Structure formats: C-alpha cells, structure tokens
C-alpha cells in the first residue's frame, strides 16, 4: 500500500520520510496510517543507515489524526481500525532498526506528538507548539500517548499535557525533555542532516544493536529484541552450519561440546 502524501526518498544512506499534507497541517487520515507500515518495511530492507521524519509546509510537523477521518466511525470501528492501525504504524516507526530523527517544524499536537515520540532524537524549530489536546474534544490520546509517551517523557509531563491541557513552546519542551535540541525556524532539516552524518560515521552493526538494546530496556519490544539477538548468535554458529550440512547430507548431526 502506498500514499502519495507520504514521500519516502532514500539516498546516500539517509531515508527521508515527509508527510505532504500541508493544507491539513499534515494531519493523518486512515489511508496514510495504513500506508506507514509498508513504508517502514521498505526502510528496513534498504541500505539507509538513518531516517529523517518531518512534515511539509513549515506550519506543522503533524497536527495529529484528521478529525474528519475518525469522528464518523462507530466506537467499534474506531477501536478496531483507527486505534489499532495507528499502533501498528507507530510501532513500526519506533522499532525501525535505523535511528530515527524527527524534525518538528511546526505544530506537534495529539497524534503528532505520539508520532514524534517514536523517534530516537527530536529536533524542534523555534516556533513549535507541543501538546496532547485530545481530552478537550472528549477523546483520549490513543496512539500510545499515555504509554510510549510516558516511557519516553515521563508521566508528570504527559499529565500536564493530557490532563491539564498545557501546550509547550520549543524552549520549555527542551527544558522538560520533550525535545533534544532547538534550532531556528527553518533550520531543522540542516541540523537533522548533520546529525545523520554523525550516525553514518559510526559502526552500523553496533549502532543497530545499541538501538535494539535501548528499546528493550525501555520496554519497547523486549521479547522481539531478545529473540533477534539470540537468533543472530545462533545463525553465526558452527552448530547451525553442522546442522544444515547434516540435513542436506541426510546424516545425524555431530555437534561439538562448548570449549572443545
């Protein structure tokens, strides 16, 4: 599944994913949400070493979920498709093997903040506004705004946004740990590309493993990380080579004891 409003370009080791719906402040509708996992699969299989995520237009990174896309849904469809689909999409982003840099170049509200929470590094341009306004509409932050956002930003900060409606500017967001760096308006992409160059200069295997281990420590994907790491060790072992050779030659495998 593809959507022209999600523009993915991969070159020189960088995957650039841009939300191109500036006329709607880069709000996500159902088709865009459904297209994100396939784009993440493309990134995973690509030679990209780092990912930059941003929104087009300069007014908004992402204003969240398009109200028109979900407000007419039945409660059952809202839960089954809108919320579960958003979790699938955002989980795929958060669990990319490559480091993910989000360039917050404008409003970052509701689902937009939940999207930014998927990133490993958040660059905020000086004019950003960050918050979780959902309760003011009678709904909840449903794309892990009370879960992943709490793990990454802390419960106290999420309470201030989700329960009391606080909206933070760039400098306050930096002080609170919602973002990692503040740059002048219009300077986000250049700063992100400089960060991407730093990632590319580092050892790719070690960087990928570090991200996996950090995710596991944070509770992002502990079971999958453990099995992946164990599988990597097993796949590089003499035991596997002997087991496959025995299978092909139709003979019993002869495994050496450890240390022999």
Instruction: Give the H/E segment covering residue 75.
Output: helix 75-77
Among the ranges given (15-29, 36-50, 171-185, 226-240), the one the predictor scored with the smallest mean pLDDT: 226-240
**Residue tagged active-site, from 12, 114, 208, 249:** 114
Is residue 258 pLDDT above 90, yes or no? no
Q: What's the pLDDT band for 163 if we cut at 50, 70, 90? A: very high
pLDDT given for residue 228 in this prediction: 84
pLDDT given for residue 260 in this prediction: 52
User: Hey, where are the domains in the chain?
Assistant: 6-200, 204-249
- The predicted model gives 108-130 an average pLDDT of 98
Give whole-number Cα distances, 53 to 9, 15, 73, 182, in Å: 11, 8, 28, 16
At 16, give phi and psi (nearest 5°).
-105, 115
- Calpha distance 86→69 (Å, rounded): 12
* Higher per-residue pLDDT: 244 or 55: 55
pLDDT given for residue 220 in this prediction: 83
Q: Does the active-site annotation cover 114?
A: yes
Tokens of 150: 């709490």
| Sheet arrangement for strand 181-183 | 6-11, 14-19, 50-55, 100-104, 121-125, 181-183
**Between vectors from CA 143 to CA 96 and to CA 114, what angle results, nearest 5°?**
65
DSSP annotation string for 170-208: HHHHHHHTS-SEEE-TT-HHHHHHHHHHHHHTS-HHHHH
- The predicted model gives 171-192 an average pLDDT of 98
**Residue tagged active-site, from 134, 193, 218, 242:** 134
- Calpha distance 107→116 (Å, rounded): 11
Residues 188-244: tens digit of each pLDDT:
999 999 999 999 999 999 999 999 999 999 988 877 888 888 888 888 889 889 889
Domain 6-200 class in CATH: alpha beta
Report the range out of 14-23, 135-144, 233-242 with the highest average pLDDT: 14-23
Beta strand 167-169 with 129-131 is antiparallel
pLDDT given for residue 197 in this prediction: 98
Q: What's the pLDDT band for 21 if we cut at 50, 70, 90? A: very high
Q: Point out which residues pair with 62 in neighbouring strands.
A: 108
pLDDT given for residue 72 in this prediction: 85
Among the ranges given (64-73, 91-100, 118-127, 195-204), the one the predictor scored with the smallest mean pLDDT: 64-73
pLDDT given for residue 224 in this prediction: 80
């Amino acid at each position: 599944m593809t959507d022209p409003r999600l523009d993915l370009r991969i070159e020189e080791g960088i995957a650039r994913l841009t939300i191109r719906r500036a006329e709607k402040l880069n709000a996500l509708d159902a088709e865009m949400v459904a297209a994100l996992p396939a784009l993440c699969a493309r990134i995973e299989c690509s030679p990209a070493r780092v990912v930059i995520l941003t929104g087009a237009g300069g007014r908004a990174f992402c204003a969240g979920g398009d109200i028109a896309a979900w407000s007419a849904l039945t409660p059952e469809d809202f839960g089954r498709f809108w919320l579960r689909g958003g979790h699938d999409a955002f989980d795929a982003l958060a669990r990319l093997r490559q480091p993910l840099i989000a360039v917050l170049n404008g409003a970052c509200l509701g689902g937009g903040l939940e999207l930014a929470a998927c990133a490993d590094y958040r660059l905020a341009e000086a004019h950003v506004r960050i918050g979780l306004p959902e309760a003011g509409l009678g709904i909840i932050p449903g794309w892990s705004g009370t879960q992943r956002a709490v793990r990454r930003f802390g419960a106290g900060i999420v309470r201030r946004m989700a329960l009391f409606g606080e909206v933070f500017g760039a400098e306050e967001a930096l002080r609170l740990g919602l973002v990692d760096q503040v740059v002048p308006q219009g300077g986000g992409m250049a700063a992100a590309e400089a960060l991407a160059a730093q990632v590319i200069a580092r050892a790719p295997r070690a960087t990928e493993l570090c991200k996996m281990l950090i995710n596991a420590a944070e509770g992002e994907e502990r079971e999958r990380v453990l099995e992946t790491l164990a599988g990597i060790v097993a796949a590089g072992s003499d035991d596997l080579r002997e087991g496959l050779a025995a299978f092909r030659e139709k003979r019993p495998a002869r495994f050496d004891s450890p240390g022999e």
